[in-house]
Copies of this chain bind each other. A is one copy, B any other.
Amino acid sequence: MTADTASRGWTLHPQLERDTHAAGDLPLSRVLLIDDANYPWLLLVPRRPATVEIVDLPEAERTQLMGEISQASRVLKAITGCDKINVAALGNVVPQLHVHVIARTRSDPAWPKPVWGAVPPKDYSDAARQQLLALLRQELQLTRL
Protein backbone atom coordinates (compact mmCIF):
# COMPACT_ATOMS: atom_id res chain seq x y z
CA MET A 1 0.00 0.00 0.00
CA THR A 2 1.52 3.36 -0.95
CA ALA A 3 1.47 6.26 1.48
CA ASP A 4 -1.15 7.98 -0.64
CA THR A 5 -3.47 4.99 -0.52
CA ALA A 6 -3.01 4.57 3.23
CA SER A 7 -3.93 8.18 3.97
CA ARG A 8 -7.03 8.14 1.75
CA GLY A 9 -10.11 9.16 3.71
CA TRP A 10 -8.07 10.83 6.47
CA THR A 11 -9.03 14.38 7.40
CA LEU A 12 -7.84 16.36 10.40
CA HIS A 13 -10.31 16.36 13.31
CA PRO A 14 -12.04 19.79 13.42
CA GLN A 15 -11.08 20.41 17.06
CA LEU A 16 -7.40 19.82 16.29
CA GLU A 17 -7.73 22.13 13.30
CA ARG A 18 -9.30 24.84 15.46
CA ASP A 19 -6.64 24.77 18.21
CA THR A 20 -3.54 24.70 16.01
CA HIS A 21 -1.56 26.05 13.06
CA ALA A 22 -0.37 23.47 10.53
CA ALA A 23 3.41 23.42 10.10
CA GLY A 24 3.53 20.74 7.39
CA ASP A 25 3.87 16.99 6.89
CA LEU A 26 6.40 14.37 7.89
CA PRO A 27 6.14 11.08 5.94
CA LEU A 28 3.50 9.71 8.34
CA SER A 29 2.26 12.61 10.46
CA ARG A 30 0.89 16.08 10.03
CA VAL A 31 2.78 18.45 12.34
CA LEU A 32 0.66 21.08 14.11
CA LEU A 33 1.68 23.90 16.42
CA ILE A 34 -0.73 24.37 19.34
CA ASP A 35 -1.89 27.95 19.70
CA ASP A 36 -0.43 28.48 23.17
CA ALA A 37 2.67 30.59 23.68
CA ASN A 38 3.11 29.25 27.22
CA TYR A 39 5.01 26.26 25.79
CA PRO A 40 6.30 25.33 22.33
CA TRP A 41 3.83 22.47 21.82
CA LEU A 42 3.51 20.25 18.77
CA LEU A 43 1.00 17.62 17.77
CA LEU A 44 1.93 14.77 15.45
CA VAL A 45 -1.18 13.37 13.77
CA PRO A 46 -0.63 10.22 11.68
CA ARG A 47 -2.53 10.67 8.41
CA ARG A 48 -4.38 7.39 8.74
CA PRO A 49 -8.18 7.17 8.89
CA ALA A 50 -10.01 5.47 11.79
CA THR A 51 -6.94 5.44 14.04
CA VAL A 52 -7.50 6.04 17.74
CA GLU A 53 -4.77 4.16 19.62
CA ILE A 54 -1.07 3.87 18.77
CA VAL A 55 -1.65 0.10 18.53
CA ASP A 56 -4.21 0.67 15.76
CA LEU A 57 -1.24 1.46 13.48
CA PRO A 58 0.55 -1.45 11.80
CA GLU A 59 3.96 -2.21 13.30
CA ALA A 60 6.00 -0.47 10.58
CA GLU A 61 4.01 2.72 11.08
CA ARG A 62 4.43 2.55 14.86
CA THR A 63 8.18 2.45 14.26
CA GLN A 64 7.86 5.37 11.85
CA LEU A 65 5.82 7.27 14.46
CA MET A 66 8.53 6.67 17.06
CA GLY A 67 11.07 8.05 14.56
CA GLU A 68 8.96 11.16 13.97
CA ILE A 69 8.46 11.67 17.74
CA SER A 70 12.24 11.47 18.13
CA GLN A 71 12.87 13.97 15.31
CA ALA A 72 10.30 16.39 16.70
CA SER A 73 11.78 16.05 20.21
CA ARG A 74 15.32 16.74 19.02
CA VAL A 75 14.32 19.73 16.91
CA LEU A 76 12.12 21.21 19.63
CA LYS A 77 14.95 20.85 22.14
CA ALA A 78 17.48 22.42 19.76
CA ILE A 79 15.19 25.34 18.87
CA THR A 80 14.01 26.12 22.41
CA GLY A 81 16.81 24.97 24.71
CA CYS A 82 14.11 23.45 26.94
CA ASP A 83 14.79 21.44 30.09
CA LYS A 84 12.51 18.47 29.30
CA ILE A 85 10.43 17.07 26.50
CA ASN A 86 6.97 15.72 27.36
CA VAL A 87 5.50 13.14 24.97
CA ALA A 88 1.92 11.90 25.29
CA ALA A 89 -0.89 10.20 23.40
CA LEU A 90 -4.02 10.73 25.49
CA GLY A 91 -7.07 11.27 23.26
CA ASN A 92 -9.80 11.12 25.89
CA VAL A 93 -11.50 14.17 24.36
CA VAL A 94 -10.49 14.09 20.67
CA PRO A 95 -10.41 10.45 19.59
CA GLN A 96 -8.28 10.91 16.44
CA LEU A 97 -4.77 9.64 17.30
CA HIS A 98 -2.50 12.59 18.04
CA VAL A 99 0.80 12.71 19.92
CA HIS A 100 1.76 15.73 22.00
CA VAL A 101 5.45 16.73 21.93
CA ILE A 102 5.95 19.62 24.33
CA ALA A 103 9.03 21.67 25.25
CA ARG A 104 9.02 22.25 29.01
CA THR A 105 11.18 24.62 31.02
CA ARG A 106 11.53 24.99 34.77
CA SER A 107 10.23 28.54 34.41
CA ASP A 108 7.08 27.67 32.44
CA PRO A 109 3.75 28.42 34.16
CA ALA A 110 2.77 24.76 34.73
CA TRP A 111 6.16 23.30 35.74
CA PRO A 112 6.52 20.58 36.99
CA LYS A 113 2.88 19.62 36.39
CA PRO A 114 1.58 18.36 33.04
CA VAL A 115 0.35 21.18 30.80
CA TRP A 116 -3.24 20.05 30.22
CA GLY A 117 -5.66 22.39 31.97
CA ALA A 118 -2.89 23.99 34.03
CA VAL A 119 -3.16 27.63 32.91
CA PRO A 120 -5.18 29.43 30.21
CA PRO A 121 -3.56 29.45 26.76
CA LYS A 122 -1.57 32.54 25.85
CA ASP A 123 -1.56 34.08 22.36
CA TYR A 124 1.54 34.12 20.19
CA SER A 125 2.30 37.36 18.42
CA ASP A 126 1.95 36.83 14.67
CA ALA A 127 5.69 37.39 14.25
CA ALA A 128 6.67 34.89 16.96
CA ARG A 129 4.31 32.23 15.59
CA GLN A 130 5.54 32.70 12.02
CA GLN A 131 9.15 32.52 13.14
CA LEU A 132 8.58 29.29 15.08
CA LEU A 133 6.63 27.71 12.21
CA ALA A 134 9.40 28.68 9.76
CA LEU A 135 12.07 27.12 11.99
CA LEU A 136 10.04 23.94 12.40
CA ARG A 137 9.50 23.66 8.63
CA GLN A 138 13.19 24.08 8.00
CA GLU A 139 14.57 21.84 10.76
CA LEU A 140 12.02 19.05 10.32
CA GLN A 141 12.17 19.34 6.52
CA LEU A 142 8.40 19.38 6.40
CA THR A 143 6.38 19.07 3.22
CA ARG A 144 4.37 22.27 2.85
CA LEU A 145 0.59 21.88 2.72
Q: Which of A2-10, A109-117, A123-131, A133-141 contacts the other chain?
A: A109-117
A93 at the interface (CB under 8 A from B): yes
A11 at the B interface (CB under 8 A):
no
Q: Which of B66, B74, B84 contacts A91 (CB 8 A)?
A: B84
Chain B residues closer than 8 Å to A53, beta-carbon distance: 73, 77, 84-85
The answer to whether A104 touches B87 (Cβ under 8 A) is: no
Instruction: Report the nearest B residue to A111, measured CB to CB.
Output: B92
| A→B interface (CB under 8 Å) | 52-55, 59, 62-63, 65-67, 69-70, 73-74, 77, 84-93, 104, 111-114, 116-117
Interface of A is mostly: mixed
Q: Which residues of B contact A85 (CB under 8 A)?
A: 53-55
Residue in B66, B74, B104 whose CB lies within 8 Å of A63 = B66
Between-chain CB contacts (< 8 Å), 28 pairs: A53-B73, A53-B77, A53-B84, A53-B85, A54-B69, A54-B73, A55-B70, A55-B77, A55-B85, A59-B67, A62-B66, A65-B66, A84-B91, A84-B92, A86-B89, A86-B90, A86-B91, A87-B88, A87-B89, A87-B90, A88-B88, A88-B90, A88-B114, A92-B113, A92-B114, A93-B112, A113-B116, A114-B116
